[in-house]
Structure 1
Amino acid sequence: MSSLAQHLNPARHRAAMVLRILALAMAGAVALTVALVVTQDTASAHGSTINPASRNYGCWKRWGNDFQNPNMATQDPMCWQAWQADPNAMWNWNGLYREGVAGNHQGHVPSGQLCSAGQTGGVRYAALDNPGNWRATNVGANFGVKIHDQALHGADYFLIYVTRQGFNPLTQRLGWNNLELVKETGRYAPGAGTRETGDPVLNGVSNTINVSAPGRSGRHIVYTIWKASHSDQNYYWCADVNF
């Protein structure tokens, strides 16, 4: 019997070693998968309006390091509801886009879903369409829209709209008929713009586009479309302002 035990113990030891090796291999595979996902998410970073800030960039900027703070519910209620609906809308503040639009923005992005780019990515960005007291930037009749191109895509064009007087973003979802086109730009070469150095997250270039929107007072939305130059990739951003 003792001889049999001597033969079995090494066998058990070898089996345990094999299991440990397999566990380490599986852990390594999982770690590699996570690393690849993070790398892909980083590589797919693109951009946003940063002043006035888009709804999801503003929420991320103010609360990204404190997103579980219950004070957000009273201090920044629209960001609070967006964080509760899907935090990925803020973590992916630079990836709110649609592909394959072929210039037909109104055909691909329905009224009432402009801030979510027609609920691109499913319902990830859907909370951005909700009307309410989003944090607004004070502007005058003439102001600049600062756009950050994180991936140095360049642009075929930017379209900048401002809501018409009488539209109320506190109670209304944004529709195409609420908008007035105030600026259409030409092409921006990839990498054109001012390199951002003050914020390590903004590691691309920025361009400020000057616009004029007279005859407005109170709360409005600045709606920006960015047609990237590297492919048929189109970004849509709502930024809240107060004239």
Structure 2
Amino acid sequence: MLFAVVVGALVWSAPAQAHGTIIGPATRAYQCWETWGSNHTDPAMETQDPMCWQAWQANSDTMWNWMSALRDGLGGQFEATTPDGTLCSNNLSRNDSLNKPGAWKTTTVGDDFSVHLRDQASHGADYFKVYVSKQGYDPTTQTLGWGDLDFITQTGGYAPAQDITFPVQTSGYTGHHVVFVIWQASHLDQAYMWCSDVSFS
């Protein structure tokens, strides 16, 4: 019995060592984990951070496995394989709570900001694609679709590293927006997609 429990714990914890996410500006799942991961039983989450609360209630794994929002074998066909309304979860049903519109906590950015990937396994990148939600789109009331996004940039490749940071240049955005990032990892055909909520100052 004890052996089974130990093996189960190892299997459950393995994803935490496997992948990565955008930590700046923080993705929705990472922001929840960073804020509440060590204090997830605090009832204050319900009132202070209701979007993280609803995500926790829907599936606690969304917070714990903030680094595992990946899909295999998309072949770069991101729009064809990711329906409108599922972008923030990378079309993963277990993370559907991340698609919910609402008062997600934001990171304040200027027109020019940096995107920071934390990749615990040093996969490297074929490229990153960065989008920003259009002016007039309201993340508090609308789910995100491809038509709600402005394409900003696609990077070149990056060698394997645990931390990758690159600059993003924008103009004309004000208020609450979603920064949508696609990471095409270079070790396999693995695609990661995330939403980060920002407030343009």
Output the CA distance in 1 between the equivalents of 2:12 and 2:136: 44
Q: How many residues align?
A: 200
**Contact in 1 for aligned 2:15/2:67 (Cα 8 Å):** no
Deviations 1:171-217 (A, max 9, x none): 010100111111101111122xxxxxxxxxxxxx2122111120111
What corresponds to 2:157 in structure 1?
A: 187
Residue 242 of structure 1: aligned partner: 199
Out of 114, 134, 159, the position equivalent to 1:164 is 134
- Is the 8 Å Cα contact of residues 16 and 68 (structure 2) preserved in structure 1? no
Tell me how far apart the structure 2 counterparts of residues 190 and 221 of structure 1 sit (CA, whole Å).
27
How does 1:223-242 map onto structure 2 within 5 Å? 223-242=180-199
Query: Which has the bigger relative contact order, CA under 8 A and spacing at least 6?
Result: 2
After TM superposition, what 4+ stretches of structure 1 lie above 4 angstroms from structure 2? none
Q: Using the alignment, how far apart are the partners of 1:212 and 1:51 within structure 2?
A: 15
| RMSD (Å) for aligned C-alpha atoms | 1.3
Alignment of 1:94-173 (within 5 A): 94-118=67-91, 120=92, 123-173=93-143
Helix, strand or coil at the partner of 1:125: helix
CA deviation string 1:20-68 (max 9, x = no partner): xxxxxxx24314422541463344x211110110000000000001111
**Is 1:212 the equivalent of 2:169?**
yes
- Where does structure 1 lack aligned partners over 5 or more consecutive residues? 1-26, 192-204
- Greater per-residue strand proportion: 2
Q: Whose radius of gyration is greater, 1 or 2?
A: 1
In 2, Cα distance between the equivalents of 1:164 and 1:225? 17
Give TM-score scaled by structure 1 length: 0.79
Letter matched to residue 152 of structure 2: V
